[in-house]
Structure 1
Amino acid sequence: MPRYSASRGILDGDATIKTLYGKQEGAEVGYNPHKPGRPSHTYHSYMLANLRLVLDVKVQSGKQVASKHSAPGLWGLLNRIPRDHWPALIRGDRDWGTEANMHAAEQAGLPYLFKQRLTKNTQRLIERLMLGSHWVKAGQGWQAAESTLRLTGWSRARRIVVLRRQIKKNLTVVSQNPQGPVQLSFAELSDDVTVYEYSVLVTTLDLEALSVAQRYRDRADAENNFDELKNHWGWGGFTTQDIKRCRFMARITALIYNWWSLFVRLAHPDQHTEAITSRPLMLYAIGKQTRHAGQTRLTISSPHAEAGKMEQRYRWMAMFFKELRSTAEQLTAIQCWCRILSLALVKYLHGRQLHPPTGLPAPA
């Protein structure tokens, strides 16, 4: 069984839908939760968890939503990366928990953590665990029990972690009636009735159930990436007639998003600051030009309340880049990048200096 190494990152594979309103190439009606029946494109994305960095994105038609359309891009990305620098774990939702994806990861020796669909055999496992298994605390009110399961079509039995959490509040049930108004009903939970919500995870991790549950809960941060990229960086705001240019734009947008995120981390190394906060702080300012005695002076002032602190960080960053520029002749472009990344990601590296990975192709 491949072992999990916390010193390397976690790669999240996920997809998001971009609704289209014109006659773009690849605009097909598929799964579209926000605008059912509207044509769309699917953005298959591969992101480094917590760092909120996009490693790659593939734009495909609205019908190509399933993970089988994401998997070729994932393995193509990993094959371009030296094996020693692969992520410690790949993570995905229940669409990723297929025999093809799990078998490919097992063959490559790459640990995975996927959510499992609730098939009939999976439900039977839940029933068996509910009745007779020992449940342990899994954090945030969840309990966990684990077993092994081999579903029809699986090549082997795999580790399953079942999570459950008791619902203690009274419930409101909404019934959607296509031929009439929405109907509401109320369910009061008595002392002799216990209701659980539950989910099922399949993994090759050798961690205890509590850590496995927390690793999957951390995946929710991927939705924040999509929200920021679509609402503040343009993934949801441009259209092209052909899908090739749309793919270029999606990757260019992701690249600029990464650059800005790293630049902001130089100023705020302790957290990721979204564009809605970082742009007013670091971009918006008032400029005034004055001329006196043959001299022209440009004065820039920021109305932001944190402008004083930001000015100190800018001065510190200017000194860092000045020092880097003075030694740049002795460093390659990749070595310069490693210096910058070591400083921007100091929260995760704890002062460790990054070095260029071995096995990269020689620059042209």
Structure 2
Amino acid sequence: MCGQGWQASEDELRLSGWSRARRVVVLRRRIRNDLALVTKARGNDGHEEQLVLALGHDDVQETAQLWEYTVLATNTQYDIAAIGQLYRDRCDCENGFDELKNQWGWGGFTTQDMHRSQLSARAVALVYNWWSWYVRAVNPQARREALTSRPLLLAAVGRATHSGNQTTLYLTPMHAETGLIKSMLANVQAAIRHVKAAAEQLPDLDRWRTLLAYICHRIVGQNTLPTPPPSPTAAG
């Protein structure tokens, strides 16, 4: 077992063009009942049985089961029980780069002017960073991609009022999921109230740090931001 319902088996394989054999790990997880029914319903030829890739430790194959498979070709020496989570974490990291390229336009720039290209790339990275923190404040339980979070959270009409040196922003959601959006915006309101109560008189940088610490605490239960390791230059 490799966690989250995954089963695994491994062997070595050398494909045509490879200089040597590599470790290959096959992971399998049973599809949830509701997804399995949809998968069966989509069959064009009326055949409802999936071809099952039997693992070495299989005793009985249930024909009613449907599986999803992942095949990993790797050079790592991690134990087979840990390698599934290792690659799931790797996919989570790579999702950020995929989102930057395909949903935020960070896939390249037409200009050959390095200065303008760097400026555009940094602007995209800055907005992406702001939006990512905002969405985690909105929904600390899980990360949401821009493809779904932007239409959900930007479909609103805003009105700002000023009174007594204070600015109040009123948002009227235009999205069909009004109830969900209101609950999400309540999380942002709670974060702003926390900063206002804890760091209103502090410099902007400290207020920003207080906000990030609050969001991190909501996500993983941290009270403070992790301290980065010393740089090699500083250590020297």
State the TM bucket, normalised to the shorter chain: 0.5 to 0.7
Instruction: Indicate yes or no: 2:94 matched with 1:199.
Output: no
Tell me: CA distance 1:329–1:343, structure 2 relative to 1, closer, same or farther (3 Å): closer
Distance 2:226 2:8 in 1: 41
| Equivalent AA in structure 2 for residue 232 of structure 1 | Q
Residues 8 and 80 in structure 2, CA contact (< 8 A), matched pair in contact too: no
2:179 paired residue number: 308
Following superposition, the deviation at residue 166 of structure 1 comes to: 8.8
2:24 paired residue number: 163
Residues 11 and 24 in structure 2, CA contact (< 8 A), matched pair in contact too: yes
Instruction: Indicate yes or no: 2:167 matched with 1:257.
Output: no
- Percent identity of equivalent pairs: 37
Residues 266 and 317 in structure 1, CA contact (< 8 A), matched pair in contact too: yes
**What is the 5 A alignment of 1:280-319?**
280-286=151-157, 301-319=172-190
5+ residue gaps, structure 1 = 1-136, 147-160, 168-188, 289-297
Give the TM-score normalised by the residue count of structure 2: 0.56
Q: Give the SS at the match of 2:140.
A: coil
Instruction: Indicate yes or no: 2:222 matched with 1:342.
Output: no
Q: Map Cα deviations across residues 21-45 of structure 1 (whole Å, 9 max, x no partner).
A: xxxxxxxxxxxxxxxxxxxxxxxxx
5+ residue gaps, structure 2 = 13-21, 29-50, 57-70, 160-168, 232-236
2:9 paired residue number: 143
Q: Map Cα deviations across residues 148-205 of structure 1 (whole Å, 9 max, x no partner).
A: xxxxxxxxxxxxx9333399xxxxxxxxxxxxxxxxxxxxx9xxxx9xx6623236xx
Following superposition, the deviation at residue 267 of structure 1 comes to: 1.0
Following superposition, the deviation at residue 357 of structure 1 comes to: 3.3
1:353 paired residue number: 223
Give the TM-score normalised by the residue count of structure 1: 0.38
More strand per residue: 1 or 2?
1
| Equivalent AA in structure 2 for residue 354 of structure 1 | T
Following superposition, the deviation at residue 301 of structure 1 comes to: 2.9
Instruction: Indicate yes or no: 2:89 matched with 1:218.
Output: yes
Following superposition, the deviation at residue 279 of structure 1 comes to: 1.4
Higher relative contact order (CA 8 A, sep 6+): 1
Instruction: Indicate yes or no: 2:97 matched with 1:231.
Output: no
| Equivalent AA in structure 1 for residue 74 of structure 2 | V
Regions of 4+ moved over 6 Å: none
Instruction: Indicate yes or no: 2:141 matched with 1:270.
Output: yes
More helix per residue: 1 or 2?
2
Distance 2:188 2:27 in 1: 50
Tell me: CA distance 1:327–1:220, structure 2 relative to 1, closer, same or farther (3 Å): closer
| Equivalent AA in structure 1 for residue 76 of structure 2 | V
| Equivalent AA in structure 1 for residue 207 of structure 2 | C
Residues 141 and 219 in structure 2, CA contact (< 8 A), matched pair in contact too: no
| Count, aligned residues | 173
Q: Give the SS at the match of 2:74.
A: strand
